Structure 1
């Protein structure tokens, strides 16, 4: 095992251990929803209201959340107008996981001849350990220059706001991106297949385009306490519109901009992928089916040839990525034609 791989595995392990300790601490102490993290450098009175975690029925996309760590020049210079902008949703404490992604599927140079930009989108740390985590985030960004921190608490219920604010960044600082990928950290991603077989860089740009694992006619979860609980007061219909599953979906830059134009017409329901589906329905846009079994949301055991013929596999942990990535990068010439 080479030194780089050892360092990556150590980083992932430390991230997991630190995250576990953080969760144990948080489990024993519940902060009031109005309490803001106590970092004096960025959490001034100006941001106090933004650090709240609103009730499910009060979520709103206000188009006024601040970027506390920002790279406004990311899409300028010789690598302007990226073909693909990767927006990776990640937690503040996932330092090691982000490093694994940088060295595997998040490598911006992985697809020759195609400009890819990557940003890890994070919110504010929880009040406990906020100053320590913020210091780590600042140091990490100074080294890598790829964090985008938004001005509200990083919680699951704020995920819709997190995605919309990341798209707002794209609208402000990278509006000429051809395609935008929203992706979580617990996945295997094959950028080459995504670019060459789904997005086709040598063809005309697809405009009202979004694809992933499409879910149709799903029922809202009405059991209180469930992760995806949907109060009838927030969404009263019996079925959701068609939408692409949250672990990873890709859309045209033009459609991302259109989604922002209608996002304020709805409560920013916390089930982020469903919310995007509501925006698509409002726009009269249906998701485009991807080649069958290329976006897998239920996991799959690694197979060299099979993984070269798909885009994404959910429930893939960083330790697994480190184990399979060197093999995945070897030639697939012996595999059936992709």
Structure 2
């Protein structure tokens, strides 16, 4: 394997960190196979925005709510949007979940599944699976957004105000709810615990909340290339920040607090000026979206 560049050798992530599988070569960190795929999703079109949405097999209601609301591919006239849900194999290993998932896929053609176990500790695998799919099957898209299922997304604000289809596509662009100066949790009881043999530094590089971040698609290959020299940690948002750091890419701070990794009290006029809000169940998404569409024009 080729030696990593000098800056990558200085990475605070130890190369001998033990992950879910034994990794012999860093360029085969994710040796998983597709169970369900949509390789032609971007065929004969150049998406302006691809929504990459991690999900679990049981989250049928959430997926349906998103399809009806902010994930509607025909929401913005003249703008090509592609919606995709990414997941692993359901835990426990239940065919009762797998067969309905295949039927759902046959109807909507928006599900991508690989054969890793779909657990919290494997969220990094799920995110990198989405990055790999984008690089392999939709490299000509302009932008992508990784966003969780429990989010409210003001898709129109994102597309028209932040990304702007009438402007040239940004290069090396990555933005979201920014964390700077975050320190690793060393308490073993913490949900975000990271042992020192996984990350030796006292402070993480800047990273964006995994609840929702946006990037130009040219960044994807650079993230994947950087990941070849990093054994993944399970905190996927921190890990993506490490990949950006090792790729010498900076995160752009979004204007006007557009992204929120927490719940923002709803009112239609206030939501006109944000892109994301957190902690939304499927019924909340549908109800809030309907109200927002009806009242935003009155602001």
TM-score in terms of structure 1 length: 0.79
SS in 2 for 1:109: coil
Q: Is the 8 A contact 2:29 2:231 kept in 1?
A: no
Which of 56, 81, 84 is the aligned partner of 1:116? 81
1:70 is matched with: 37
Q: Once the two structures are superposed, what CA deviation does each residue of 1:278-320 show, in whole Å capped at 9, x if it has no partner?
A: 0111111111111222111121121001111110001122121
Instruction: Give the superposition deviation at 1:175.
Output: 0.8
Instruction: Give the superposition deviation at 1:63.
Output: 4.1
Which of 140, 151, 156 is the aligned partner of 2:115? 151
Instruction: Work out whether 1:316 is the aligned partner of 2:247.
Output: no
1:31 is matched with: none
Q: Is the 8 A contact 2:268 2:295 kept in 1?
A: no
Looking at both structures, which has the greater relative contact order when contacts are Cα pairs under 8 Å and sequence separation is at least 6? 2
In the TM superposition, 1:159-308 aligns within 5 A as 159-308=123-272
Q: Is the 8 A contact 1:180 1:256 kept in 2?
A: no
SS in 1 for 2:297: coil
Instruction: Work out whether 1:126 is the aligned partner of 2:88.
Output: no
2:68 is matched with: 103
SS in 2 for 1:57: coil
SS in 1 for 2:251: coil
Counterpart-to-counterpart distance in 2, 1:94 and 1:65: 22
2:13 is matched with: none
Instruction: Work out whether 1:94 is the aligned partner of 2:55.
Output: no
Structure 1 residue ranges, 4+ long, deviating more than 3 angstroms after superposition = none
Counterpart-to-counterpart distance in 1, 2:184 and 2:95: 38
Counterpart-to-counterpart distance in 1, 2:132 and 2:167: 27
2:11 is matched with: none
Number of residue pairs matched? Answer: 277
Counterpart-to-counterpart distance in 1, 2:281 and 2:61: 12
TM-score in terms of structure 2 length: 0.90
Counterpart-to-counterpart distance in 1, 2:287 and 2:185: 36
2:48 is matched with: 83
Q: Once the two structures are superposed, what CA deviation does each residue of 1:242-261 show, in whole Å capped at 9, x if it has no partner?
A: 01110000111000111011
Q: Once the two structures are superposed, what CA deviation does each residue of 1:9-41 show, in whole Å capped at 9, x if it has no partner?
A: xxxxxxxxxxxxxxxxxxxxxxxxxxxxxxxxx
Instruction: Give the superposition deviation at 1:331.
Output: 5.4
Counterpart-to-counterpart distance in 1, 2:36 and 2:164: 32
Q: Is the 8 A contact 1:214 1:242 kept in 2?
A: yes
Counterpart-to-counterpart distance in 1, 2:85 and 2:142: 19
* Structure 2: tracts of 5 or more residues without a match: 1-16
Counterpart-to-counterpart distance in 2, 1:190 and 1:112: 15
Q: Which structure dedicates a bigger proportion of its chain to helix? A: 1
* Structure 1: tracts of 5 or more residues without a match: 1-55
Q: Once the two structures are superposed, what CA deviation does each residue of 1:126-145 show, in whole Å capped at 9, x if it has no partner?
A: 135x1111111011111111
Q: Is the 8 A contact 1:63 1:168 kept in 2?
A: no
